[in-house]
Structure 1
Amino acid sequence: MKFNRMNVIITVLSVGSIFAALGYTASKLPPAPNQKAPAAEAPAKPLEKSAPVTLLPQVGVVAVNGQEYQAEVIGFGEAKPRFELTLSAEVSGKVIELNRQFESGQVIKKGTVLGQINDTSYQQAVTQAQSDVAQAELDLLEEQREGEQAKAEWLRSGLSGEPASPLVLRTPQLAQAKAALDNAKLALKKAQQDLAYTQITAPFDALIISRNIQPGSYVQTGTELGTLYSVAEVEINVPLSEMQWKNLPAFDNAQLAKTPWNVTLQSTDGQYQWQGYIERVEQHLTETSRQRSLIVVVDDPLAQQTDLYPGTFVKTNIQGKSLTNLWQLPSSAISQQGDIWFVDDNGLLAKSAANIAFEKGGFVYVTPMTDKQDMPAKMQIVKRPLSNFKVGTKVLAKEEV
């Protein structure tokens, strides 16, 4: 007997539907009297209540109060020689000899002969001047004798009174002879001086910076021969702001001449150190910076443990006077806008412009905010203010060392 495939499929689906309906009906019937209902699931335990979490932002603060500190003034400047000379020829002539020390980098003593200019014509000029002096002395003696003879003849003439003309007693002639002798002596002095100038000498203890002539060079009066720096001392011109001047004693140049004020100098990288002193203060403002400067001097700069060369840029540390009622704050406490942020008694952020007196050793020393009448004895200053701080924000202050 053949079955139709479609009939078989329909029959299977029908039987499945019947069994499904029976199962659903059985699930809805109440349980039998001797049959226990399935135990109901135990109700979930309520969640334990956790401690409240603090949502206030926390900021690190330092507690400060006004104290006395010794100010330190920091300045910068360039070491320069006291004397910077462009050595020039005093006379004209051919350079016939040069000292081996007349080279850049050499240190020479005052009076050292650096070169020689041909002096033949200058020696001749000295001889001629000496001859002129001798002739002038002779002329003066002759004129004095003739004057004495003229006076004797006037007395023998028996005339009373003074001669009608001074020429009778040869008074003008005698004056002319004296003047001629004085002129001859000055000419001799000039000739001797010119002869001395044929030797090129150092006017002070000096460092040779450059030499502009060679053996055989012909120089004129005023020709630049080289450049010399004095080595006895160097000067550092240190411009200071008005606030920095207030942190220093009232310097007086007369007082500094008797008691110099010591200064510590450092190289810009901090590796080398020198000791100097304030020699004088300037009494004018520069046109460029509109600041007043003090002059620091270091003696024997090329004889130090570490040589202080002219042209070195240095940092100067000057001990100032003691200042009272200042806050000592870490440098990080000053915001990029130059403000100080603090936490008030209500835990709110506030700020005020920083009035910095000076900086020293990684700290800034500021004047307290005088406009806060109810300011507590100790202030909670934010150690590291953030750029997104807003005035009035409630915060949790945590004091840090």
Structure 2
Amino acid sequence: MSRRLGRGVVLVAAVGLLAAVVLYSWQAMRSRDDGPPAGRQTSQAQAPRPDVSVVTVTPGAYRAWAHGYGQAAARFELTLTAQVQGQVEELAGDFDTGRRVARDTVLARLDDTDYRAAVASAEDALAAARLALLEEERRGVQARAEWRASGLKGEPDSELVLRAPQLAAARAALASAEAALAGARKDLAYTRIRAPFDALVVARAVAPGSFVQTGTEIATLYGTERVEVEVFLSARDWTNLPDPATLASGEWPVELTGVEDGRRWRGEVLRVAQHLDQTTRQRALIAAVETPLDRDPPLLPGTFLELEVAGRLVEGLWRLPSAALSQRGEIWYVHDDDRLASFAAEPLFSADGAIYVRPPQALGEAPQQVLVHPLDGYLQGMAVRPVEVKSDD
């Protein structure tokens, strides 16, 4: 009897323990579904805000600049040719590639024997024509005296009587002889081939003993007086520049930088084109550097250059690092509560690694924090932690 009672107590205790375990497990599962009990909730950890590099900017007035690229070209570029034929007898000592020659320097001398003979012949013909004219003038005077002595009234029926046509022919012959002599002397002068301007010898095509025909190439010459740089500018660049009509010569300086070596020169705007190029559909600006080979360093024809020309003073612009413009053409800045905002922008111009943009009017005159390196993944309203960096201003 007591053994049966003991087994019953053990069975009841086991069932109670099992029920307690089931109840505890059910409550634990319910607590995971419903969250922690009231009064024991923990605050959710906030995601960290990313650091962004910013510069603080305010609108200001800045001098606009236009940029373009072009090649330095001599004002005069000439392929010098022979005006008469003949054998080259002598070349000037400086007539070599790379040498500079002064205007009117005799570069080459041709055999002039035939041309001196032609001049002598023309001089003889001229002397004969002058003599013939004098004789004809005397005959005309005699003919008129004889006509008056004859007692006949009025003028003769034929002009031949007073020798008027003969006198006109003698005068024409004299004029022809004078022209022939001038031509012969010019041909003789052409046997001395001269530099038409101060020049750099770029190429020489003859040597002593060469025989040249009329039109044979003698040399290629570049003028040393000036180099010019033609640069095509966009319509937006022209809006930033002053009106060329209001500027006198020398009042529009330009800065020229060699693309390959970074050397710099100062020049001035010489003129502007009054038409649009058919290929680029842009208007050209022509800058000039005087005596380029005498500069330090020399500016050589053919140098590829970047041109910078100062324009108008423009107000209400932000000066930003060039990296501040995103690949999508946007400027990102930190707005209220350190959250990001952006606006589409097109720089008016750039200079010295900076871009100049006009901010929206809503941003006003208050300083703004602009991102230096915006990323494509940024979103409007994204919370950030701005970190100020040194500005280049």
Structure 1 residue 52 displacement after superposition = 4.8
Deviation, 1:155, is 1.4
Match of 1:387 in 2: 376
* Residues 59, 365 of structure 2: 8 Å contact kept: no
1:123 aligns with 2:116: yes
Describe the SS at the equivalent of 2:129: helix
Following the alignment from structure 1 to structure 2, what is the Cα–Cα distance between the partners of residues 394 and 50?
19
Contact preservation (8 Å) 1:260, 1:279: no
- Structure 2 CA distance, aligned partners of 1:98 and 1:198? 12
CA distance in 1, matches of 2:335, 2:364: 9
Residues 44-63 of structure 1: pairs in structure 2 closer than 5 A: 52-63=45-56
Partner residue, 1:196: 189
Taking structure 1 as the reference length, the TM-score comes to 0.82
Q: Could you say which residue in structure 2 is the equivalent of 1:139?
A: 132
2:210 aligned with 1:217: yes
Q: Distance in 2 between matches of 1:303 and 1:55?
A: 63
Name the counterpart of 1:293: 284
How well do the aligned residues superpose, as a CA RMSD in angstroms? Answer: 2.5
Show structure 2 runs of 5+ residues with no match: 1-39
Moved more, 217-226 or 344-353: 344-353
Match of 1:354 in 2: 345
1:73 corresponds to which of 48, 52, 66: 66
Verify: 1:366 aligned to 2:357, yes or no.
yes
Residues 1:331 and 2:289 are matched in the alignment:
no
Q: What is the number of residues matched between the two proteins?
A: 353
**Displacement after TM superposition at 1:280 (Å):** 1.1
Check 1:63–1:320 CA distance in 2 against 1; reply closer, same or farther (3 A cut): same
Q: 1:374 to 1:205 in 2, by over 3 A?
A: closer
Cα distance in 2 for partners of 1:78, 1:104 equals 21
Per the alignment, residue 91 of structure 2 pairs with: 98
Q: Percent identity?
A: 45
Where in structure 2 are the equivalents of 1:296-307 lying within 5 Å? Answer: 296-307=287-298
Structure 1 305/317 Cα, relative in aligned 2: closer, same or farther at 3 Å? same
Alignment of structure 1 residues 146-157 onto 2, 5 Å? 146-157=139-150
How many Å apart are 1:196 and its aligned residue?
A: 0.6
Check 1:71–1:223 CA distance in 2 against 1; reply closer, same or farther (3 A cut).
same
> How far is the alpha carbon of 1:398 from its aligned partner?
4.2
Matches of 1:270 and 1:262, distance apart in 2: 21
CA 1:48–1:255: 2 relative to 1, 3 Å: closer
Task: Show the counterpart of 1:234.
Answer: 227
Question: 1:364 Cα shift?
Answer: 0.5
Secondary structure at the aligned position of 1:101 is classed as: coil
Q: Match of 2:178?
A: 185
User: Where do 1:271-286 residues align within 5 Å?
Assistant: 271-286=262-277
User: Which has the greater radius of gyration?
Assistant: 1
Q: Report the Cα offset of residue 205 of structure 1.
A: 0.8
1:320 correspondence with 2:303: no
Separation of aligned partners in 1, 2:297 and 2:369:
45
State the alpha-carbon separation in 1 of the partners of residues 155 and 221 from structure 2: 65
Shift of 1:80: 0.8
What is the TM-score with the length of structure 2 in the denominator? 0.83
Conserved 8 A contact 1:333-1:340: yes
Shift of 1:232: 1.2
Letter in 1 for 2:269: I
- In the alignment, is the contact (CA less than 8 A) between 1:349 and 1:394 conserved in 2? yes
1:125-176 Cα distance to aligned partner (Å, 9 max, x none): 0000001110110111011111111111221222222222222211121111
Partner of 1:83 in structure 2? Answer: 76
Q: What secondary structure is seen at the aligned counterpart in 2 of 1:284?
A: strand
2:224–2:293 CA contact under 8 A, matched in 1: yes
> 1:374 deviation in Å?
7.0
Report the equivalent of 2:3: none
Distance 1:161 1:307 in 2: 81
CA contact (8 A) 1:256 1:278 kept: no
2:262 matches 1:262: no
Deviation at 1:330, TM superposition (A): 1.1
Shift of residue 114, structure 1, vs aligned partner: 1.1
* Matched AA of 1:217: S
Residues 163-191 of structure 1: CA deviation (Å, up to 9, x unaligned): 22222211121111111111111110110
